[in-house]
Amino acid sequence: MTTTVTLALTPGEPAGIGPELCLQLAAEQRSAGLVAVASKPLLEARNRLLGLGITLQDWMPGTAAETAPGKLSVYHVDGLATTEAGKLDPANSAYVLDTLTVATRGCMEGLFDGMVTAPVHKGVINDAGIEFSGHTEFLQAMCGVERVVMMLATDELRVALVTTHLPLSEVPRAITPERLTQVTRILNQDLKRFFGVQQPRILVAGLNPHAGEGGHLGREELDIIEPTLESLRGEGMTLTGPLPADTLFTPHWLDNADVALAMYHDQGLPVLKFQGFGRAVNITLGLPIVRTSVDHGTALDLAGTGRADVGSLRQAVRVGEHMTRCQKGLN
């Protein structure tokens, strides 16, 4: 078994900062082999535009990926229509999804140990007439799993979500015993599998202010969350909560926990992004493969300027490598 981890790297939206972040990362020292699953002409064009001087080398399945600074292996994907930085083109949408498909299949077939994704632009993909709600749902469908969990992480804090991209008005109906059970089991299992946490300590937020205050500010905690957590404790999980979200994210609780589980997107992620925006990683749990991503968008206004910060992509690669090594027992 090789001790070098090989990660597929998808640059995302061609008009955004993803292609140049991949090139900037290739200039750095790294221990993982990176294979850009992308249009080689796109990377060549951005390489010339920014004068980065990266050597792009064709990669064939079964060969070693480049790890040397200044070099990047490329698994070419056809279908790119235009390469202009900062200018969206719906004609590129099928190509973007093809890169994700190639990378995902490569992971499932063992060509890659995991995949790291730069940001896509959901709006332009939908403008092309292709129904697309995001990386997470796309990978869930490709891998054929019933439930996935979004977790964002910095070196100091992990936050997972019970619900993700839902209108706030729909969140209470989505907090069901079944969903909460599935999400918590995946979170507990994958902290062990991918992060080496032997007995995960999970803080669980309530849905309502003051965690419902004994039913006076909502009954979801009494009727759904607490009974579900008690049942899961019977499976041996270490769960604390439901806790008021306004005090959960304090050292008193976080210093003795491995992850916080928030009920909805804007309950937990503002705290994490305030604490570590630009060096946080978006991780999809519940998949049979390793997948990490950046914590930011396509930043069309920065594309082609050379001013984009590679920090989140660097961290996504580092975490993807760590997850792979844990899964394979290489750490």
Q: What is the CATH number of the domain that holds 114?
A: 3.40.718.10
Question: Contacts by 122-129 with C-beta closer than 8 Å and gap 24+?
Answer: 124/13, 124/88, 124/89, 124/90, 124/92, 124/93, 125/90, 125/93, 125/96, 125/97, 127/90, 127/93, 128/90, 128/91, 128/93, 128/94
Residues 71-103: tens digit of each pLDDT = 999 999 999 999 999 999 999 999 999 999 999
Give me the sign of the Cα torsion angle 113, 68, 61, 293.
Answer: positive
Report, as an integer, the average pLDDT of 191-203: 97
For 276, the domain range is: 148-286
Residues 139-174: tens digit of each pLDDT = 999 999 999 999 999 999 999 999 998 999 999 999
- Say yes or no: 74 and 98 in one domain: yes
- Say yes or no: 86 and 158 in one domain: no
- Say yes or no: 5 and 128 in one domain: yes
Dihedral (C-alpha) 228, 270, 284, 114: value to the nearest 10 degrees? -150
- Say yes or no: 82 and 170 in one domain: no
- Say yes or no: 261 and 329 in one domain: no
Report, as an integer, the average pLDDT of 203-231: 97
Residues 252-297: tens digit of each pLDDT = 999 999 999 999 999 999 999 998 888 899 999 999 999 999 989 9
What's the rounded Cα separation, in Å, for the pair 182 and 162? 9
Structure tokens at 226: 């607490």
Structure tokens at 142: 């490709």
Residues 17-48: tens digit of each pLDDT = 999 999 999 999 999 999 999 999 999 999 99
- Say yes or no: 118 and 209 in one domain: no
- Say yes or no: 328 and 204 in one domain: no
What's the rounded Cα separation, in Å, for the pair 274 and 3? 35
- Say yes or no: 139 and 162 in one domain: no
pLDDT-derived band at 133, boundaries 50, 70, 90 = confident
What's the rounded Cα separation, in Å, for the pair 199 and 151? 18
Cα-Cα end-to-end distance for the chain: 13
Residue 1 has pLDDT above 50, yes or no: no
- Say yes or no: 194 and 325 in one domain: no
Identify the DSSP state of 118: P
- Say yes or no: 17 and 92 in one domain: yes
Report, as an integer, the average pLDDT of 210-233: 97
Mean of all residue pLDDT scores within the chain:
96
Percent of residues in the chain assigned helix, strand, coil, to nearest 5? 40, 15, 40
Q: Which pLDDT belongs to residue 102?
A: 98
pLDDT-derived band at 2, boundaries 50, 70, 90 = low
β 158-161/149-153 pair status? antiparallel
Strand partners, 153: 158, 281
172: enclosing H helix or E strand: helix 171-174
- Say yes or no: 119 and 170 in one domain: no
Count the domains in the chain.
2
What's the rounded Cα separation, in Å, for the pair 271 and 218? 23
Residues 40-58: tens digit of each pLDDT = 999 999 999 999 999 999 9
Residue 3 has pLDDT above 80, yes or no: no
